[in-house]
Structures are given as C-alpha cells and as structure tokens.
Amino acid sequence: MTSPGQPAKQGPRSLDPHVRRYAARTAGMTASEIRALFAVASRPEVVSLAGGMPHLAALPLDGLAREVGEMMATDGLVALQYGSAHGLPELREQICDVMALEGINAHPDDVVVTVGSQMGLDMVTRIFVDPGDVVLAEGPSYVGALGSFAAYQAQVVHVAMDAHGLVPEALREALAAVERSGRRVKFLYTIPNFHNPAGVTLAVNRRAEVLEICRQAGVLVVEDNPYGLLGFDGQTYPALRSTDPDNVVYLGSFSKTFAPGLRVGWVLAPHAVREKLVLAAESATLCPPTLNQMIVSRYLSTHDWKGQIKIYREAYRERRDAAISALEQHMPEGCSWNRPDGGFYVWLTVPEGIDTKAMLPRAVTQRVAYASGTGFYADRLGSRQLRISYCYPTPERIREGIRRLANVLEDEAQLHATFGPTTSREVGGPQSPSPDTA
Ligand SMILES: Cc1ncc(COP(=O)(O)O)c(C=O)c1O
C-alpha cells in the first residue's frame, strides 16, 4: 500500500486504466523517434534532413489566394457544405487526366477521393486485411504504410530491393516462404517510383514480371505513387495500374505535386472494389473536405499545374545535386548511398558498428536531424541506414547539414573504435509518421 505523498508503485497494475482498456491493435501504434526529438529538431539552428515536407515556397501564393477568395465569394455555400464520400465529380475527372500522364486509362467512377493517400492506405488495409494476414512490402518501406499495416495487425514481410527497385526473384521467394508458413498474403504494397525512403525506381522491364508473379499467386498489388511526376528529367514510367487494371489498387496524391496541407489524395480501385472503398471512406470521414477539393479542382483548371510540377522538379533536382555533392565531399570511408533520379530521398548506409537510431540524439545535439533506418522496417532491420530528405532545406543548408552529419559519423566511428559498437536499447517496429518524417 502507498501512503499519501508516496509515489505509486511502477508496473502494469499501476497503469492508467485507459491503457488497460486499449484494443489489442493499439500495441502496434508507436510514435516515430523523430517525434520525440521534434521540439529540439525543429529549432532553427538544426538542419532537418528528416522531413518529407515539400518546397512550398515555389507555389504562386498570391494567385492562389485570389482564386480561393473568388471561389468563396461565388461558391462558398457549396464549398462549406457536406459532399459525397466518393469525392467531387469534376475533381475525379481531372484526376483521370493527371493519371493519364503515367499511362492510366481510368473512369472517374472508379476514383475515390481521400484525405491524402495516407487515408487511402488506411482504407485499403481496412477492407483487405484481417489480423495475422501478411502484407508484402519492399524493405525498407514507407513509415506511414507500416503504421497502417500495424494498426490493422497485419504481419509485414519485406521483399528485397536493389538499385532497380523490387527484385522479382525475392518476391517469388517471399511468396513461397509465406505459403510454407501457412499464412495468407493479402497484397503487395509497392512504391515503384522514386521510392520513400530508398530513392530507387522499379525498372520498366521488371514491371510486367512483378505483376505476373502477383497475378499467378492471387495477390493484389497496391501501387503507391505520390512521386511519379517528380522525375528530374521530366521522365515518367508506366504505372503498374496502366497494364493490370483488374489487379492493382492505385494510390495517388496532390501532396507532393501541389500542397500536402490540403490533404487531397485518391484511390483508383478495380471496379468491384470501389463500392467497399466508398463505404470505408464514409465511415472514416463522411466525405473528404469539399473546400479543399474545390481548391484543387480550380487549381487544376486555372493554373499551369504541369508548369508548377516542372518548377518543383527543378528545385528538387538542385537540392538532390547539393546533397550528392556534399555526400561525396564529406562522408567518411565506409558510407554508401544512391543517386535518386526523382523524388525527395537519399538512403545512406553507414559504417559497420554504427547504429543510426542510437546516434540520432547526438546528431541533433550537433544540429542536424535525419530519419533513422529502423523506422522503415517492420522487422527491426535498418540500424545501419538512415534517410536524408533533401526536399525542404535550401541547397546551402543541405550542404551544411550533410557536413555536420559527416562529422557526427566520424565521431561515432571513433567511439566505436574505442568502446565497441553503439546500439540503441529501444527496439524499433512500425511507427506512425510525424509530419516531419512522412
Ligand atoms: C510513399 C508515400 N505514400 C503516402 C504518403 C502520404 O501522402 P499524403 O500526404 O497524400 O497522405 C507519403 C508521404 O510522404 C509517401 O511518401
């Protein structure tokens, strides 16, 4: 018994009663490690290479403000009203035009507008996954997807990638291994273009093979493609969905090509799946925000949105170049990285014995932040990797951040040489993205 003034005993019995009431699925919900450091990492003196935040300073804000003002004056009563769970019809038509750029020939009826593609991921997982079902995902994979899979108690089995994306042979092996273990694969989750976090793109000559393997195994493909239009040379790749409309659920987003704060994304589903998705969307949000959909729709019809994507691509290419030249100049022996052709991310492997999660607080003290590799795996791999996002800081800040990171790695290597490997005590696992790590 504790008398007044004495601290309560620690242990499961002393937990807040709410904690004991939580559903079993909440065990898989944990915050990303950068969130714990967020207050420090977001100080202006820290160069954050952790976040996936787009370079919004490139947007024509004055023109947008005028358009939104006019729209409220003329259509405010519609913009502020409930809408359909399916999404605005004119926006769904425009989304079809956007997808046509990657070879997709879709009907607007099969598009469901979502609150960002994160909601699409949640809905797709909700309607397909029972606890214990297997989801195949590249290793590493997008933190937010792993968070959704964990929340629905899916078991994630990672499939290896190389410089050309997902390895078809590894996919065959993963499917066979899951079958031998008596479990059921529900879908393959893949980010074919300018991968988050690996930065690689699935080779065009692998795409048909990946689709064929999944089709033969009776496994659905969930294609997540927020970065497909951000190839630095303006190159696009044929979407998986373009050649296999019956077996691919496609997730799209305006977050990286326009603005993430609007939270407008979409799911293009095989016709038979569409209705369940609309019901799932309805139960989550009733309808996506009408105002935001109207802003996106108006932007697409009145602005040179392709020109804006070109402006973004150029800004990101300049930042990629700054990151790669700084890595070449400063990184110590034993580090390796890829050179992305589009998107936001470089995936860095550090010398053996260095644990990027254990190193993160020391890096933040040295005024640089990154996303450590373990968050991108469901099976605790990735301790020798980290993700550098070059999308948000200026090229000068990127160069400075990478110089600081190289110094931290040098210090860490010395510590390792003197005292042995540094490891993080906390174990990893699927995490929810913070806005700073998405
Ligand atoms: C691969 C991937 N999928 C989905 C998302 C979520 O995007 P949205 O803002 O559309 O929810 C992100 C965001 O970073 C991402 O990188």
Ligand 1 center–CA 345 separation, angstroms: 13
Determine whether the shortest distance from the Cβ of 438 to ligand 1 is under 6 A: yes
Q: Residue 426 — very low, low, confident or very high, per pLDDT cuts 50/70/90?
A: very low
Per-residue pLDDT at 380: 83
Determine whether the shortest distance from the Cβ of 32 to ligand 1 is under 6 A: no
- Asked whether residue 343 falls in the same domain as residue 397, the answer is yes
- Asked whether residue 280 falls in the same domain as residue 132, the answer is yes
Q: What average pLDDT does the segment 341-360 reach? A: 96
- In the chain, what percentage of residues exceed pLDDT 70? 91
Tell me, yes or no, whether 246 lies in a domain: yes
Tell me, yes or no, whether 63 lies in a domain: no
**pLDDT surpasses 90 at 13:** no
Choice from 98, 143, 253, 344 to test ligand 1 binding pocket (greatest atom count within 8 A of CB)? 253
Ligand 1 center–CA 98 separation, angstroms: 17
Residue 273: left if φ>0, alpha if ψ -120 to 50, beta else—which one?
alpha
**pLDDT surpasses 90 at 381:** yes
Ligand 1 center–CA 117 separation, angstroms: 6
> Could you tell me the CATH number of the domain that includes residue 116?
3.40.640.10
Per-residue pLDDT at 186: 97
**Nearest ligand 1 atom to alpha carbon 120:** 11
Ligand 1 center–CA 407 separation, angstroms: 31
Which tops the pLDDT comparison, 417 or 290?
290
Which has the minimum average pLDDT: 29-33, 389-393, 411-415? 29-33
Q: Which two tokens stand for residue 339?
A: 């050179």
> Could you tell me the CATH number of the domain that includes residue 54?
3.90.1150.10
Residue type present at position 107: H
- Asked whether residue 40 falls in the same domain as residue 83, the answer is no
Determine whether the shortest distance from the Cβ of 289 to ligand 1 is under 6 A: no
Residue type present at position 347: W
**pLDDT surpasses 80 at 390:** yes
Determine whether the shortest distance from the Cβ of 196 to ligand 1 is under 6 A: yes
Tell me, yes or no, whether 148 lies in a domain: yes
Tokens 């629905």 locate to: 152
The pLDDT tens digits for 163-188 are 999 999 999 999 999 999 999 999 99
**Nearest ligand 1 atom to alpha carbon 191:** 1
Ligand 1 center–CA 284 separation, angstroms: 18
Q: What average pLDDT does the segment 125-151 reach? A: 96
Per-residue pLDDT at 128: 97
Domain count, the chain: 2
Per-residue pLDDT at 4: 42
Q: What average pLDDT does the segment 389-394 reach? A: 96
Q: Whose CA is nearest to atom 16 of ligand 1?
A: 196
**pLDDT surpasses 50 at 3:** no
Q: Residue 280 — very low, low, confident or very high, per pLDDT cuts 50/70/90?
A: very high
- Asked whether residue 331 falls in the same domain as residue 275, the answer is no
Which of the listed residues 302, 335, 366 is the one where a domain comes to its end?
A: 302
Determine whether the shortest distance from the Cβ of 393 to ligand 1 is under 6 A: no
Which of the listed residues 302, 318, 339 is the one where a domain comes to its end?
A: 302
Determine whether the shortest distance from the Cβ of 116 to ligand 1 is under 6 A: yes
The pLDDT tens digits for 281-292 are 999 999 999 999
Selection from 357, 234, 396, 394 nearest residue 306 by Cα: 234
Query: How far apart are the two ends of the chain, measured CA to CA in Å?
Result: 45
Ligand 1 center–CA 258 separation, angstroms: 13
Strand arrangement of the beta sheet that strand 371-372 belongs to: 336-337, 345-349, 385-389, 371-372
Per-residue pLDDT at 437: 57
Taking the C-alpha atoms of residue 341 and residue 310, their distance in angstroms, rounded to an integer, is 14
Q: What average pLDDT does the segment 95-113 reach? A: 97
Chain centroid to Cα 432, Å, comes to 10
Determine whether the shortest distance from the Cβ of 389 to ligand 1 is under 6 A: no
Ligand 1 center–CA 100 separation, angstroms: 20
Tell me, yes or no, whether 370 lies in a domain: yes
**pLDDT surpasses 60 at 1:** no
Q: What average pLDDT does the segment 91-97 reach? A: 98
In whole numbers, what is the pLDDT of the chain averaged over residues?
92
- Asked whether residue 267 falls in the same domain as residue 323, the answer is no
Q: Whose CA is nearest to atom 12 of ligand 1?
A: 438
- Asked whether residue 205 falls in the same domain as residue 336, the answer is no
Q: What average pLDDT does the segment 360-383 reach? A: 94
Tell me, yes or no, whether 1 lies in a domain: no
- Asked whether residue 196 falls in the same domain as residue 183, the answer is yes
Ligand 1 center–CA 411 separation, angstroms: 34
Tell me, yes or no, whether 6 lies in a domain: no
- Asked whether residue 221 falls in the same domain as residue 137, the answer is yes
- Asked whether residue 278 falls in the same domain as residue 406, the answer is no
- Asked whether residue 396 falls in the same domain as residue 369, the answer is yes
Tell me, yes or no, whether 72 lies in a domain: no
Q: What average pLDDT does the segment 318-343 reach? A: 97
Q: Residue 213 — very low, low, confident or very high, per pLDDT cuts 50/70/90?
A: very high
Tell me, yes or no, whether 278 lies in a domain: yes
**pLDDT surpasses 50 at 56:** yes
Determine whether the shortest distance from the Cβ of 224 to ligand 1 is under 6 A: yes
397 CB contacts (<8 Å, ≥6 apart)? 47
| Helix (H) or strand (E) segment spanning residue 148 | helix 143-151
Report the predicted TM-score, pTM, of the whole model to 2 decimal places. Answer: 0.92
- Asked whether residue 316 falls in the same domain as residue 343, the answer is yes
CA distances from 160 to 103, 157, 190, 374 (A): 27, 10, 11, 15
Q: Residue 435 — very low, low, confident or very high, per pLDDT cuts 50/70/90?
A: low
Taking the C-alpha atoms of residue 227 and residue 83, their distance in angstroms, rounded to an integer, is 28
Q: Which domain holds residue 329?
A: 24-58+307-419
Which of the listed residues 275, 302, 329 is the one where a domain comes to its end?
A: 302
- Asked whether residue 160 falls in the same domain as residue 187, the answer is yes
Q: Residue 293 — very low, low, confident or very high, per pLDDT cuts 50/70/90?
A: very high
77 CB contacts (<8 Å, ≥6 apart)? none
Residue type present at position 334: G
**pLDDT surpasses 70 at 10:** no
Q: Residue 328 — very low, low, confident or very high, per pLDDT cuts 50/70/90?
A: very high
| Peptide bond between residue 351 and the one before it cis (omega within 30 degrees of 0) | no
**Nearest ligand 1 atom to alpha carbon 121:** 4
Ligand 1 center–CA 438 separation, angstroms: 7
Q: Residue 424 — very low, low, confident or very high, per pLDDT cuts 50/70/90?
A: low
Ligand 1 center–CA 226 separation, angstroms: 6
**pLDDT surpasses 90 at 267:** yes
Taking the C-alpha atoms of residue 368 and residue 24, their distance in angstroms, rounded to an integer, is 36
Determine whether the shortest distance from the Cβ of 342 to ligand 1 is under 6 A: no
